Amino acid sequence: MSRIGRKPIAVPPQVKVEVKDGLIHVEGPKGKLDWRCHERMQVDYDANTRQVSVSRKGDERLDRSLHGLTRTLISNMIVGVTEGYEKKLEIHGVGFQVKVQGKQLLIDVGYTGRKEGGQPAEFMIDIPPGITVKVEQPTNPGKFSISGVDKQMVGQFAAEIRALRKPDPYQAKGIRYAGEYIRRKQGKAAVGTGT
């Protein structure tokens, strides 16, 4: 039996949970989330004890692997609607900048391509619904945060932005998570001409 999967999930008083035909609906002060669990999982909500329990229908390998996962995903939903999730990112590089315009995130990370009209190339990324982007510092080192109630969506959007220009191991330029350690590499040393 999964040690994580068999632990009941405590539901805070300000959170409303509904389970119907495998569809889990969680609503709290930060927002609401819906998720359909796998058909081989059984999710029950006890309104008296305010606990969600997850059980599996069989004991096959798939059932065992889904058991803990299902419990963790439901727990993440409850944390998301009460506290929310946040990823902090930084942009390092001379001339690099980040800003929010309406529902778009504009990132300039030093690519030299030019758009029509001769303007420098920058990425214009649509901010997905349910995600909030806050810019604390627009230029080097640029600091901004991505927040929302859905842990997977916040993590995915942050990873997509970081992938635009991953940190360079030689000069440490690029987009990185706050506090991320960049393993530096030494550049090529100048070779003497010796006679």
The series of mean pLDDT values per 10 residues for the chain, 195 residues long, is 79 92 92 92 91 89 90 94 94 87 85 57 84 89 92 94 88 86 78 58
135-171 pLDDT tens trace? 998 887 889 999 999 999 999 999 999 998 888 888 8
pLDDT of residue 59: 87
Domain stops at, among 82, 104, 119:
82
pLDDT of residue 29: 93
Domain range enclosing 68? 9-82
Cα–Cα distances in angstroms (integers) from residue 27 to residues 32, 33, 129, 141, in the given order = 4, 6, 17, 37
pLDDT of residue 122: 74
Q: What is the token pair recorded at 14?
A: 């300000």
Residues 157, 33: Cα–Cα separation, whole Å: 17
pLDDT of residue 26: 94
The answer to the question of residue 55 being in a domain is yes
End-to-end distance of the chain based on CA atoms, in angstroms? 73
Cα–Cα distances in angstroms (integers) from residue 105 to residues 58, 79, 135, in the given order = 46, 26, 10
Angle, vertex CA 152, rays to CA 14 and CA 109, nearest 5: 125
The answer to the question of residue 50 being in a domain is yes
Full-model pTM: 0.83
pLDDT of residue 1: 44
Considering its fold, how many domains does the chain have in total? 2
- The domain that holds 163 is classified in CATH as 3.90.930.12
Tokens 């727990």 belong to which residue?
75
Domain stops at, among 57, 82, 107:
82
